[in-house]
Structure 1
């Protein structure tokens, strides 16, 4: 049963669009957000907030 519950919330990687190569790891709900996730988060390498895009 545990495998079924984790299948709907997979672990995804968010990569910075600033080109620094910095990544965040998080989970998302596939039912609510089937498309690629785009979040604005802090990039410590660029030292500013930039958009992070889901990498598959």
Structure 2
């Protein structure tokens, strides 16, 4: 079966500049803009914002 195009795989990159990344899926219908989440950056040792990469 083919993967759904409404839930693509996206990469979330840390805005702290450490190179840390998370991989997740998102629903394009509910979130058409770039996804921004506050998650833990292990390199920085604290929670920072992660922005969707394209």
* Unpaired segments ≥5 residues, structure 1: none
Once residues 35 and 48 of structure 1 are traced to their aligned partners in structure 2, the CA distance between those partners, rounded to angstroms, is 25
Question: For residues 1-56 of structure 1, what are the alpha-carbon distances to aligned partners after superposition, in whole Å with 9 as ceiling and x for unaligned?
Answer: x43x5210000000000000000000000000000000000000000000000000
Equivalence for 2:34: 36
Give the number of equivalent residue pairs.
Answer: 54
Structural RMSD (CA): 0.9
- Structure that is richer in helix per residue: 1
Using the size of structure 2 for normalisation, the TM-score is: 0.95
Using the size of structure 1 for normalisation, the TM-score is: 0.92
